Structure 1
């Protein structure tokens, strides 16, 4: 028997975190539901929204769920559409941008519950857990 109970996460029952600049995140699988090896969630971007260039201490995979995105990874700009998926090694600067006129949503997964984000411009590092705890709730 597993030590932990499985979790069912319903989007309409989860808090939405305002990331600023037209981006909102819904954390899904996290420590709160018992995960010990990964975290994931969905981030929605309004037209023109973007998050600052950053990198993580672990691998990350991002799938575009809706709309069109520009992935800026390691100095390249790559157009993505719904269904396209990225894999980004640890410590590679990147960000996702919505340059379209419509909404864009991504599903992200970090390879550890101890994931951090370091902003390239400032060098400030913060755990993803702390980001979610400090975020303004919508």
Structure 2
């Protein structure tokens, strides 16, 4: 078994445009299970576009404050809040701060996770995307 310690400052940052930056961190196969983890930083006033995934996603707010829109319902989110989003449920996160970034740590229940942006219908694999 291989183990790794990864620090965000040593990982490549993918600029997704619109004030969104992502750092995919770890892919793991755990027996029959799989997961893909990473960190997304959302600048003040910016939002991740409304999208769906082909697998479940959990999101832990690391820092900042924002709003989560999940399946048409809005929720305020703050550090240490955790969300669970089933596959196929439309959602997005928006930073409501005037000056602090919103940092979220996400986990997908598949290393083959995809994101489909609702407005465009464009689907990309999470581990291959370089922008939206």
What is the TM-score with the length of structure 2 in the denominator?
Answer: 0.91
Gap regions ≥5 residues in structure 2: none
The aligned residue for residue 120 of structure 1 is: 118
Could you say which residue in structure 2 is the equivalent of 1:21?
18
Q: Equivalents in 2 of 1:103, 1:48: separation in Å? A: 9
The match for 1:68 is: 65
More helix by share: 1
More strand by share: 2
Match of 1:108 in 2: 106
Give the drift of 1:106: 0.4
TM-score, normalised to structure 1's length? 0.87
1:92 aligns with 2:89: yes
The number of aligned residues is 127
- Whether contact under 8 Å (2:24, 2:127) holds in the other structure is no
- Flag structure 1 segments of 5+ consecutive residues without an equivalent: none
